[in-house]
Structure 1
Amino acid sequence: MMSEIKKMTTVIITMLVLMVVPNLYAQILPRSTTAKKVNVLFIAVDDLRNQLGCYGDSVIITPNIDRLAKNGIVFNNAYCQQAVCGPSRASLLTGRRPDVTKVWDLETHFRKALPNAVTLPQYFKENGYQSLCVGKIYHDPAASQDSISWSAPEIMAVTGTVGHKYVLKKNSKAKGKAAAVECVNVPDSAYVDGMVCNAAIKVLREIKDKPFFLAVGFRRPHLPFTAPKKYWDYYKRDEIPMPKQPAPPQNVPEIALHNSTELRGYTDVPDEGPIPPDKIRQLRHGYYASVTYTDMQIGRLLDELNKQGLMDNTIIVLWSDHGYHLGELGLWCKSTNFESDTRIPLIISAPNIKNKGVYTDGIVESVDLYPTLAQLAGLSIPDELDGLSMVPLMEAPERPWKKAAFSQFPRPWMYKNLPRVMGYSVRTKDFRYTEWRNFKNGTIEFTELYRYQANGRLEEKNLAAMKQYDNIKITLKQLLDDGWQKALPVKNR
């Protein structure tokens, strides 16, 4: 009799527990079996600097990126780890810094140093996602691709196999680089980014009912500045501002500069000497047109996501591999440690983050994207990553965050075998400190210190030799020597 009473009592208690805590079993089961996986739309834009409406530019026309910004969080102080395509993308996609990936050039594959690395898209694939690539995500050559990252073969990932950088025969038939600009009255799909967008929309329609990590990489505004004529017509050339500070910083060491070789390889740009004012205006016009062209493709992607009813269950991230110079400091393109090259646009919209249309001044880095997306998707964060999840910052945008961001760049560029010198740079709220270290023995050959004024982010004068900045220099040198882990918020160290 007593045993029967015990059994009945157990049944009653169990029923009461289930009534009071109906989600008890849901809480202890793995997330994947109790909740619909949140999707990821991962948008990469090549050579895009913070020249966007949502970053305060009143001339540029970017309504779709601005629309994304209104639905997400805009990071005012996001920085890449090395301001050139291959190393930056390898760092972001592995969540490891360049001295760990050993990718400092455009040829080395990160799997040479990290054969067992699990990349960001690969991690989502291993957690039940369709992980797919359309356009440029890893660096462009076929040798830089990483098929293990994806659930299916990449689409249009290598420019050489796609073509359509140019439309005019005199340009498209040229060996190597042709003109730096091209303006032709053609539809969006005549150029590669329109083709990429079409392909991405097709893929999105095919996978809409499955959890996906869809990476879409746009090539413009990378040189050549080629876009359909209608995007050029959005602007009056004489209303596009000229570079604010066309001269290099005072007292800058030559090693920090370059001859804008990437631009000078184009047939309509002088090989040496100053770029003529008319050409500067044309090039800047081409950059603006290219950005607006890419913005329109991003808008089409967002519209399709909404059409498929996926907007409320998709994390959308827009990032650039690095920034860009458009004549500022006498420089064009990237490959420096200066602010215009290392600072990147970064916008994240996530359905499980309440803050919308919010800006944060917290310092963040490209390597932070991997752990951030993992956490936003409810996945565990791998231990070996060199970044910090930005989710706490997204939830409280005003909270104290990292002390600094760390970037680097080798000299010479481009080098053979190993660089002779590596420039290591640390960026705090108000300053940037850079040491050019001999790569073999670590000897410091040159130093730079810049203070950024509230009204601009251009380097005006190298302060490293000025006595009144000795204490700041000592502090920043110590921060650079201590490394990125000492720059984290206290509880994250």
Structure 2
Amino acid sequence: MTQTDARPDIVVIITDQQRYDTIRALGFDHMDTPNIDRLVERGVSFTQCHVTAPSCVPCRASLFTGYYPHTNGVYANGQPWSRSWVEDLRSSGYRTVNIGKMHTIPYDAKAGFDERFVVENKDRYMEGRWFFDEWDKALASHGLRKQQREDYRKREDYRDRLGAFTWDLPAALQSDNYVGGVTQWWLETKPVVEPLFLVVGFPGPHPPYDPTPELAEKYMARDLPLPQVTPEELEDLHPAWKEKRLHDVEVDHDSVAWKLDPTPEELHRQRAYYYANVELIDTQVGQILDTLERRGRLDNTIIVFTSDHGDNLGDHGLSQKWAPYDQITRVPLIVCAPERFAGGRQVDGLVQLFDLGPTILEWAGLSPDPRLEAETLAPALEGAEFAGRDAVFCEQGGDVNMTGTSLLTMIRTHTHKMVLFHGATDGQLFDLQDDPGEQRNRWDDPACQGIKADLKARMLDWHIDSGWRTRDARRGIVAPAGERSWQ
């Protein structure tokens, strides 16, 4: 069968909880990522891409709707969302496919896809605990069940592992290997004459950090960058994050039993397993690229590589995500299409991850809804003058992990970051030029009151503009089932 529609295939690869500093070609030589490096070397890398929410579900809902969390109403994990601009692609003639994690709520919502092969969290223990996804079924067909919290808790060293466990079942059934394998199988066997929109969602390196043993051993033997947290920084943490530290000791989210004072050896193991999980994904990325090439359509394929947020891994004394430090909000974003965009370039302007939405629609020859809060990245990709955004924003609220605050809102410019906590008179203010590690809170510094007032005013303007711009779209976002949310 011959494809008659000349529009490009679009393949979006999204990892879960991958920090920016995990790709060798972006300057981090503690990593081995030869396949993602190929994308960097041939593509366009955005060095200051920030997410709109510091956790999985609200970030993905924002990415696939084109609206900030306060507009689409999805502030936290577990909150329902299922509509997306993917349906516009499908209606225009694209074959829309998702393999792996999307984190829609409900998990198996169509979300505009013709086909979904749902693979959810590696340790889904709370909402939807007994939802059996394609990975569960594959394991069951081998008489197995996934490694998960009930089993890890039986280990004597459970609280010392900080979520780091080797994958001891067959390597092909590790979640990221499984998603990569299904993707290759689908690409090799599915006859498709329409242009393809494919979202590949790897569950890792989200915890449990569970690489196969040989990769874990490889990184355990390396010197790795470890958190440098001082007593002064811990003392100066906002009360919300001090409470989160205590909460994460009491509640083992995603098989991570946190410690207030982990040893260097424990932190080294956690990072070694995390980095090893990234390399495991990198291998699968390479095999997907090779499969795309064998299909004979790689020259007309736009490949995107990114992640939904990062992981503190002990930075700032914190576990996992939710706190909008750069380790969480800044993610890799690489767009590779050498036949279309000059490669080997870096774009340093501030952008938001959900800016991919209108960009993808334009690649498909569609006109994005002008009410979208996401903005196209086309000028940057095409080599035009591109300043990026003046500021990026991030929101999180109503999450069970944030017991110390009901809602936070972040604004970040190239030079400063401010975080406001609902109902609190204090917040966080960082001078990113003098303190790029965000370790000294300048909220009460008399010398910083001018910039604090300016950032508050900019945040107010952002909310006012957002409310007016999306006034009609918001009615559609919450419309009854079956009605489209973006027209």
Task: Tell me which of 146, 152, 167 is aligned to 2:109.
Answer: 146
SS in 2 for 1:42: strand
What SS class does the counterpart of residue 445 from structure 1 fall into? coil
- Count of residues in correspondence between the two structures: 439
Cα offsets for 1:463-486 (capped at 9, x unmatched): 121111122112211111111797
Tell me which of 185, 190, 196 is aligned to 1:202.
185
Match of residue 208, structure 2, among 186, 207, 224: 224
Quick one: which of 403, 406, 409 aligns to 1:421? 406
Corresponding position of 2:17:
47
The change in CA–CA distance for 1:272 and 1:229 in structure 2 (over 3 A counts) is closer
Secondary structure of the structure 2 residue equivalent to 1:235: helix
Q: Is the partner of 2:236 in helix, strand or coil?
A: coil
Counterpart position of 1:361:
348
Aligned equivalents of 1:202, 1:244: Cα separation in 2: 43
- Name the structure 1 match of 2:150: 175
1:106-145 to structure 2, matched below 5 A, reads 106-110=77-81, 117=83, 119-139=84-104, 143-145=106-108
Residues in 2 aligned to 1:391 and 1:195: alpha-carbon distance in whole angstroms: 33
Cross-structure match for 1:333: 320
The alpha-carbon deviation at position 59 of structure 1 amounts to: 0.6
Structure 1 residues 175, 183: CA separation in 2 closer, same or farther (over 3 Å shift)?
A: closer
- Could you tell me which runs of 5 or more consecutive residues in structure 1 were left unpaired when the two chains were aligned: 1-32, 112-116, 439-443, 488-493
Q: Secondary structure at the match of 1:318?
A: strand
The CA deviation at 1:333 is 0.6
The residue number in structure 1 matching 2:331 is 344
Aligned with residue 437 of structure 2, among 458, 463, 471: 458
C-alpha contact (below 8 Å) 1:75/1:345 kept by paired residues: yes
Letter in structure 2 aligned against 1:135: G
> What are the Cα deviations for residues 311-352 of structure 1, in whole angstroms up to 9, with x where unaligned?
111111111111111111111210112111111111111356
Structure 1 CA distance for aligned equivalents of residues 339 and 145 of structure 2: 50
User: Separation in 2 of the partners of 1:183 and 1:168?
Assistant: 20
CA distance in 2, matches of 1:135, 1:267: 18
Letter aligned with residue 121 of structure 1 = V
Q: Of residues 452, 456, 476 in structure 2, which corresponds to 1:473?
A: 452
> 1:53-97: per-residue Cα shift (whole Å, max 9, x none)?
122111111111111111111111001111111111111111111
- Residue type matched to 2:427 in 1? T
What is the aligned-residue identity percentage?
25
1:274 corresponds in structure 2 to 261
Unmatched runs of 5 consecutive residues or more in structure 2: 123-131, 467-487
Shift of 1:175: 2.7
In structure 2, how many angstroms separate the alpha carbons of the residues matched to 1:64 and 1:79? 23
- What is the DSSP-based 3-state SS (H/G/I as helix, E as strand, rest coil) of the residue aligned with 2:25? helix
Q: What amino acid maps onto 1:475 in structure 2? A: D
Residue 342 to residue 148, structure 1, CA distance change in 2 (3 Å): closer
The superposition leaves residues 374-400 of structure 1 with CA deviations (integer Å, 9 ceiling, x where unpaired) of 112222112231100011122237632
Change (3 A) 1:366 1:242: same
CA shift, 1:359, in A, is 0.4
Contact conserved, 1:249 with 1:459, CA < 8 A, in 2?
A: no
Between structure 1 and structure 2, the one with the greater Rg is 1
Q: 1 CA distance for matches of 2:352 and 2:225?
A: 29
Q: Give the direction of change, closer, same or farther, for the CA distance of 1:449–1:158 in structure 2 (3 Å limit).
A: closer
* Residue matched to 2:288: 301
| Deviation larger for 365-374 or 169-178 | 169-178
Larger mean Cα displacement after TM superposition, 286-295 or 196-205: 196-205
**Bigger relative contact order, structure 1 or 2, given CA contacts below 8 A and separation 6+?**
2
Conserved in 2, the CA contact under 8 Å of 1:426 and 1:476?
Answer: yes
Give the direction of change, closer, same or farther, for the CA distance of 1:246–1:300 in structure 2 (3 Å limit): farther
Match in the other structure for 2:478: none
| Separation in structure 2 between the aligned mates of residue 425 and residue 434 of structure 1, nearest angstrom | 4
How many angstroms does 1:413 deviate by? 3.6
- 1:266 and 1:354 mapped to 2: Cα distance? 41
- Partner letter of residue 175 of structure 1? E
Q: How far apart, in 2, do the equivalents of 1:82 and 1:305 lie? A: 32
> In terms of mean alpha carbon deviation, does 248-257 or 344-353 score higher?
248-257
Maintained 8 Å contact 1:129/1:210: yes
- How much does 1:256 deviate? 4.0
Contact 1:250/1:462 (<8 A) preserved? no
TM-score, normalising length: structure 1: 0.81
Q: Is the 8 A contact 1:95 1:386 kept in 2?
A: yes
Contact 2:14 2:201 in 1 (8 A): yes
SS of equivalent to 1:226:
coil
Q: 2:108·2:118 contact (CA, 8 Å) conserved in 1?
A: no
